[in-house]
């Protein structure tokens, strides 16, 4: 399931299409500009001298830069030092930590999953574990960003984490390591290859190559490429992956202001696979470049719903103090010459997305009548999807939730107590997973490739 997760970064920033471009520094000589800058400095000093609260020059500087960038377009933005560090880690797909995926559930930090091969997975840490303390520091009620900052650290250093598991506290001492996020998953479905790319980070190309090597072992020549909910990533990775699928020729033209157009090509001599590409409203940026190139060159067909429509390119500019900015510097054109900014890609075969994607349902404690919080709200969402809870989830376990849960338990053939316990959680998850298998878009793509 694709979801927003924290790989022990301070927070998550959705990846935009990134592009390495030369950055020119200009020495201003225009007297009007000099006067404007002088005026801004005077205003900042006046605020500092007269504002009733406390404000520093750095705070005003940050706010001024944020204001300027936010007035340009929705992709240009300012990063503080911490934000810049987290952004660089999130786009690289590599960080130092223990490899746990966590969510904040009310006052608890709950493990959702672990990264394959990570210290956390090797130690046996599992979904549903609740973080109690980090190096002896109680984290109850802490914000997830603070907790993840306590846990992450340099490779080779140790961290002690206590978890609440099945009514008792267990402590683990883990050695931090370099974690590489693999954004690619793959399998073979009824003789057809299936490759899901969740983002284009620095590890994408090598893992797509591994997926194709696996598929080639079985002499499979038809592939479904799933780019649904892929927010983009590095331009270079999208071009590299295009070279696996797009016939030799132009893949992309980047129109940089004040510079010559930059063109990117595929050098694939012979197209090896028959393709169907899944897209939806969450397919954006670099993912649209790959899908658009496949569509324009007739290398495959697009199945699903209209994509997001991000046809611009950003560059990240670091500042000396560790902060930085992301600035839109160009628009891109697909092989046919079209720009999809604001319009998106229209699928060749339109199919509505019937999947209902909810965050993982995790059992942390029994839930009963009178309880309230995000755990109750998520339970209501699951029961609503399964047809038992009527109305909008509100996070309060009242009579309506009790009646819905009782009905579900009776139908599922488990103890009808009206209490959400571990057995009920397993039953709800089982029936929810059955609904996920009913993927009309994927089924249509498979049908078209037969």
3-state secondary structure the chain: CCCCCECCCCCCCCCCCECCCCCCCCCCCCHHHHHHHHHHHHHHHHHHHHCCCCCCHHHHHHHHHHHHHHCCCCCCEEECHHHHHHHHHHHHCEEEECCEEEEEECCEEEEEEECCCCHHHHHCCCCCCEEEEECCEECCCCCHHHHHHHHCCCCCCEEEEEEEECCEEEEEEEECEEEECCCEEEEEECCEEEEEECCECCCHHHHHHHHHHHHHHCCCCEEEEECCCCCCEEHHHHHHHHHHHCECEEEEEEEECCCCCEEEEECECCCCCEEEEEECCCCCCHHHHHHHHHHHCCCEEEEECCCCCCCEEEEEEECCCCCEEEEEEEEEECCCCCCCCCCCCCCCEECCCCCCCCCCCCCCCCECCCCECHHHHHHHHHHHHCCCCCCCCCCECCHHHHHHHHHHHHHHCCCCCCCECHHHHHHHHHHHHHHHCCCHHHHHHHHHHC
Specify whether the CB–CB gap between 300 and 340 falls below 8 A.
no
Q: What is the pLDDT of residue 91?
A: 64
Tokens (6 digits) for 434: 């059955």
Tokens (6 digits) for 314: 């950003």
What does the mean pLDDT of the chain come to?
Answer: 86
**Domain range 184-321+329-354, CATH class:** alpha beta
Indicate if 285 belongs to the active site: yes
Specify whether the CB–CB gap between 263 and 250 falls below 8 A.
yes
In percent, the amount of the chain with pLDDT more than 70 equals 90
Residue-range domain boundaries for the chain: 94-180, 184-321+329-354, 374-436
Burial grade of 53 (CB within 10 A; 0-12, 13-18, 19 or more): exposed
Instruction: Examine domains 184-321+329-354 and 374-436 and report if their fold is the same.
Output: no
The confidence band for 1, taking pLDDT boundaries of 50, 70 and 90, is: very low
Q: What is the pLDDT of residue 8?
A: 31
Tokens (6 digits) for 202: 């620095």
- 97-101, 229-233, 378-382: which is most confident: 378-382
Q: Residue 207: pLDDT above 60?
A: yes
The catalytic residue among 229, 296, 371, 375 is 296
Range with the poorest average pLDDT among 21-30, 228-237, 325-334, 351-360: 21-30
Cα–Cα distance between 264 and 286 in angstroms, integer? Answer: 13
- 44-58, 137-151, 379-393: which is most confident: 379-393
The confidence band for 19, taking pLDDT boundaries of 50, 70 and 90, is: very low
Cα–Cα distance between 191 and 220 in angstroms, integer? Answer: 7
pTM: 0.75
Instruction: Considering the domain delimited by 94-180, tell me its CATH architecture.
Output: Roll (2.30)
Q: What is the pLDDT of residue 116?
A: 85
The confidence band for 79, taking pLDDT boundaries of 50, 70 and 90, is: confident
Q: What is the pLDDT of residue 365?
A: 86
Tokens (6 digits) for 228: 């649904």
Cα–Cα distance between 85 and 323 in angstroms, integer? Answer: 8
Q: Residue 360: pLDDT above 50?
A: yes
Q: What is the pLDDT of residue 66?
A: 86
**Domain range 374-436, CATH class:** mainly alpha
- DSSP bridge pairs for 256: 330
Angle at CA of residue 114, ends 112 and 118, nearest 5°:
160
**Beta-strand relationship, 158-165 and 168-175:** antiparallel
Residues composing the chain: 450
Range with the poorest average pLDDT among 11-20, 62-71, 195-204, 382-391: 11-20
- DSSP bridge pairs for 97: 177
- DSSP bridge pairs for 164: 130, 169
The catalytic residue among 76, 118, 133, 285 is 285
The catalytic residue among 152, 180, 222, 310 is 310
pLDDT digits (tens, 9 = 90+) for 394-447: 999 999 999 999 999 999 999 999 999 999 999 999 999 888 778 999 999 999
pLDDT digits (tens, 9 = 90+) for 152-167: 889 999 999 999 987 8
Cα–Cα distance between 302 and 287 in angstroms, integer? Answer: 12
């Amino acid at each position: 399931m694709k979801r927003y997760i924290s790989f022990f970064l301070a927070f998550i920033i959705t990846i935009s299409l990134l592009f390495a471009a030369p950055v020119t520094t200009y020495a201003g000589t225009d007297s009007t500009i000099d006067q404007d800058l002088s005026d801004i400095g005077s205003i900042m000093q006046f605020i500092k001298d007269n504002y009733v609260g406390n404000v520093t020059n750095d705070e005003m500087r940050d706010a001024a830069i944020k204001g300027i960038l936010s007035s340009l377009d929705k992709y240009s933005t300012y990063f503080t030092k911490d934000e810049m560090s987290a952004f660089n880690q999130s786009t690289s797909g590599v960080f130092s930590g223990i490899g746990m995926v966590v969510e904040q559930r009310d006052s608890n930090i709950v493990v959702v999953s672990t990264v394959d091969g990570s210290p956390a997975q090797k130690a046996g840490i599992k979904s549903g574990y609740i973080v109690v303390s980090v190096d002896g520091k109680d984290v109850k009620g802490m914000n997830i960003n603070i907790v993840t900052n306590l846990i992450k650290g340099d490779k080779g250093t140790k961290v002690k984490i206590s978890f609440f598991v099945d009514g008792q506290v267990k402590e683990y001492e883990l050695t931090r390591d370099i974690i590489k996020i693999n954004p690619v998953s793959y399998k073979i479905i009824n003789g057809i290859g299936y490759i899901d790319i969740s983002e284009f980070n620095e590890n994408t190309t090598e893992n797509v190559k591994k997926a194709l090597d696996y598929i080639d072992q079985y002499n499979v020549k038809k592939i479904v490429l799933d780019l649904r909910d892929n927010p983009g990533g590095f331009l270079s990775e999208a071009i590299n992956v295009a070279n696996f699928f797009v016939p030799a020729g132009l893949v992309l033209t980047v129109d940089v202001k004040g510079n010559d157009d930059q063109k990117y090509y595929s050098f694939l001599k012979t197209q090896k696979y028959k393709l169907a590409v899944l897209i939806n409203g969450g397919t954006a940026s670099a993912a649209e470049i790959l899908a658009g190139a496949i569509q324009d060159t007739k290398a495959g067909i697009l199945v699903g719903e209209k994509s997001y429509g991000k046809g611009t390119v950003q560059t990240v500019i670091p500042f000396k103090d560790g902060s930085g900015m992301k600035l839109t510097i160009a628009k891109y054109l697909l092989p046919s010459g079209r720009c999809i900014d604001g319009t998106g890609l229209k699928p060749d075969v339109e199919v509505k997305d019937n999947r209902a994607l909810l965050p993982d349902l995790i059992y942390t404690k029994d839930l009963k009548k009178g309880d309230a919080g995000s755990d109750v709200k998520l339970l209501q969402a699951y029961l609503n999807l399964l047809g038992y809870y009527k109305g909008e989830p509100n996070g309060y376990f009242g009579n309506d939730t009790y009646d819905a849960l009782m009905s579900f338990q009776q139908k599922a053939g488990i103890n009808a107590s009206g209490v959400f316990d571990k057995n009920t959680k397993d039953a709800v998850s089982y029936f929810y997973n059955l609904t996920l298998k009913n993927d009309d878009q994927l089924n249509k793509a498979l049908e078209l490739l037969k």
